[in-house]
Amino acid sequence: MLNVQLLCLFHFKIWWVIPRVGKSTSDIHVETQMLLLESTSQEDREVTNNIVFLPVLDGDLRSSLQGNSSNELEVYVETGDPSTVASESLKAVFINYGSNPFDLMKESMKILDEYLGTFTVRESKQESRFLTIPVLTIPGCTALEVTFAFLSSFA
């Protein structure tokens, strides 16, 4: 028997994504954009497996995940345009697995970066000199005083 926990990120509003946790696919909300499952065996609680499901764009098609009351995971694919008709989506969901959820997410993003070519992960980007803020340390001052001194220098 497996013990399964899940974390999903879903569109609460069209511009807002929030997390939800649960133990069943009925806990997976409509418009889920990321699903992370963690399973542990009751016999061997030391072994944890993680599976990530990431809906991706496939041309004019966008996909999302949702659970149902029959404990099934559904993939919802749409175009958003009534005049565009498609009968299949071959790249609707990316699935990957691993033992460490943090490494799994990092690795999955790198794979999608290479495969899709529609975005770049942070490690591959050049650091902007405008975003690099030097860390100031002034002996005897608190962090708030240092921040105030830093911001006051622009006034």
CA 4 to chain centre: 19
Q: What is the pLDDT of residue 142?
A: 55
117 residue type, one letter:
G
Q: What is the pLDDT of residue 154?
A: 52
Q: What is the pLDDT of residue 129?
A: 63
- The C-alpha atoms of residue 53 and residue 112 are separated, in whole angstroms, by 12
List of residues 6+ apart from 11 with CB closer than 8 A: 17, 31, 33, 64
Q: Give the residue ranges of the chain where pLDDT is below 50.
A: 146, 155
Strand spans (E) along 42-147? 48-55, 62-67, 73-78, 93-98
DSSP 59: T
Q: What is the pLDDT of residue 135?
A: 58
